């Protein structure tokens, strides 16, 4: 007890809640970047115990899903060899989820609405897990970008790689001319558009992994004052 091995500035605050931070974490999580030759450009953010996502089962789930997405570029496909197969072999839970899922997305029809969606053969993605992952990453990226926690709540999350349900036009329009940020854009980049509250008050963040696995997170920003 009393062993103060982590020395962070007292001004460090959690990327999510603004409480004092107790650790740092990588964003996006390290487990999805096993194929990258250099990890020293990865982003870190300070976090409290509650919002530290390290070693989260949800992140592993996303990493495995990412690894089998055929839409990814060649860098992403390396994941199949360096990450997905070892993970699947060592996790019976994940293995059962992804069994026979490796043929990639195809079109399926929603029996209730008749909507055509892109899905994985016989595979129901666990959207709660994915939404949790994307909200964490989006908030951490926002903190990294603006050096303060995002003040607002999630309006909607659109995993563009899983479904052809489009994000609202206003969200897409906000991102249209947004710059791509990222030291390793072939592995990960983000785009950010925070609209003036006089307009829609939306904060829109696109997360792009291996150029083929994209998600849009739409926040309703709090009014400041
Ligand atoms: Zn926190």
> pLDDT tens track of the chain, all 225 residues?
444 444 545 468 999 999 999 999 889 888 777 656 565 567 899 999 999 887 688 888 888 777 777 677 777 766 655 655 555 545 555 555 554 444 444 445 556 676 655 555 556 678 899 999 999 999 999 999 999 999 999 999 998 877 555 688 888 888 999 999 998 888 899 999 998 878 888 999 999 998 888 999 999 999 875
Q: Give the pLDDT confidence score for residue 42 in this predicted structure.
A: 79
Distance 58 CA to ligand 1 centre (A): 18
Distance 160 CA to ligand 1 centre (A): 28
pTM, 2 dp: 0.79
Q: Give the pLDDT confidence score for residue 102 in this predicted structure.
A: 44
- Tokens matching residue 74: 């060649």
Q: How far is CA 190 from CA 10, 34, 44, in A?
A: 29, 19, 15
Residue 25 contacts residue 16 (beta carbons within 8 Å): no
Distance 138 CA to ligand 1 centre (A): 14
Q: How far is CA 36 from CA 127, 150, 197, 211, 220, in A?
A: 26, 29, 39, 14, 34
Q: Give the pLDDT confidence score for residue 10 in this predicted structure.
A: 46
- Among 56, 33, 55, smallest CA distance to 43 is for 33
Q: Give the pLDDT confidence score for residue 178 in this predicted structure.
A: 93
Distance 42 CA to ligand 1 centre (A): 20
Distance 15 CA to ligand 1 centre (A): 6
Residue 176 contacts residue 53 (beta carbons within 8 Å): no
Torsion of CA 47, 93, 135, 210, to 10 degrees: 100
Enumerate the β-bridge partners of residue 220: 153, 202
Distance 194 CA to ligand 1 centre (A): 22
Enumerate the β-bridge partners of residue 24: 46
Q: How far is CA 60 from CA 33, 90, 142, in A?
A: 11, 12, 22
Count how many residues are written for the chain: 225
Distance 52 CA to ligand 1 centre (A): 7
Distance 34 CA to ligand 1 centre (A): 26
Distance 143 CA to ligand 1 centre (A): 12
Q: Give the pLDDT confidence score for residue 101 in this predicted structure.
A: 47
Residue 224 contacts residue 150 (beta carbons within 8 Å): no
- Nearest-angstrom CA–CA distance, 92 and 7: 38
């Amino acid at each position: 007890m009393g062993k103060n091995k982590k020395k962070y500035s007292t001004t460090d605050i959690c990327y999510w809640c603004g409480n004092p931070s107790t650790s740092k974490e990588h964003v996006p999580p390290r487990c999805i970047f096993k194929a990258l030759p250099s990890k020293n450009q990865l982003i870190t953010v300070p976090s409290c115990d509650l919002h530290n996502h390290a070693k989260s089962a949800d992140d592993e789930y996303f990493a495995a899903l990412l690894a089998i997405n055929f839409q990814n570029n060649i860098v992403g496909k390396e994941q199949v060899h360096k990450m997905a197969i070892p993970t699947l072999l060592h996790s019976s839970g994940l293995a059962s989820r992804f069994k026979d899922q490796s043929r990639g997305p195809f079109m399926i029809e929603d029996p209730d609405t008749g909507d055509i969606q892109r899905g994985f053969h016989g595979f129901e993605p666990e959207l709660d897990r994915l939404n949790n992952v994307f909200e964490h990453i989006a908030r951490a990226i926002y903190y990294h970008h603006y050096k303060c926690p995002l003040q607002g709540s999630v309006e909607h999350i659109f995993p563009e790689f899983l479904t052809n349900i489009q994000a609202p036009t206003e969200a897409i329009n906000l991102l249209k001319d947004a710059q791509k940020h990222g030291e390793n854009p072939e592995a990960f980049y983000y785009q950010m558009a925070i609209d003036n509250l006089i307009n829609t008050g939306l904060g829109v963040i696109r997360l792009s992994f291996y150029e083929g696995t994209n998600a849009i997170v739409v926040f309703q920003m709090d009014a400041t004052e």
